[in-house]
Amino acid sequence: MHLTTWIAHAGVYAVFGLMAVDAILPIGSELIMLYAGVLAAGTVEGRHATLFGAHLGTSAESFVVLAIAGSLGTFGGALIGWAIGALGGRGLIERHGRRLHLEPQTFARAERWLTCHGRLAVFLGRLVPVVRSFISIPAGVFRVPLASYAALTLAAALVWCFGFAAVGLALGSAWQNFDHGLRYVDYGAAALTLLAIAAALTSTRSRSASP
């Protein structure tokens, strides 16, 4: 069954569950949250966001609840990923890294990045399409402090989920015209994040070079 069909039928619960999975393995968080916004707009024929069996009254209410559901799903999945990495350690990556899409070269780059820019890597990594799904397990393996990891993950999840859901809400009935162009949203988000990373690194180096 297509992701959007799940969301149309199960609403809040589907968004929460799908975003939890995406926090560990990429399944299309951009599409999930965009369509959540479309659902919140009330333009999906015969479908409305529900919570505990009750229809959410307004588009604004639906938007907030669905965005929070996505954020909490990401947060919960990310904590599970961290725990998997912390308990499995390097042995987990050596045995099952390829199944987790964490090939040796990818894992080595993640190690260097987290060692040099630990907290910055967690926050910005969550804002990069696809890459955001591969932060959780390495962060656990490298024992990024759980408190800071949790706080930064939640902050980035809120930015991601509210941002993409807002775009979906604005699209509304025009969703079909944009459905096939989602890859350009990914490219734009990736470009903006890379610019932010470059600016942060430049700032860090400048401070280090200052007497």
pLDDT tens for the 211 residues of the chain, in order: 466 777 777 778 889 999 999 998 888 888 899 888 888 887 776 677 777 666 676 788 889 999 999 999 999 999 999 999 898 888 877 787 676 666 677 677 777 777 777 678 888 888 887 778 888 888 888 888 999 999 999 999 999 999 999 988 888 766 655 554 544 544 444 454 455 445 444 544 554 455 4
Q: How far apart are CA 25 and CA 137, in angstroms?
A: 10
pTM comes to: 0.76
First to last CA, the chain: 59
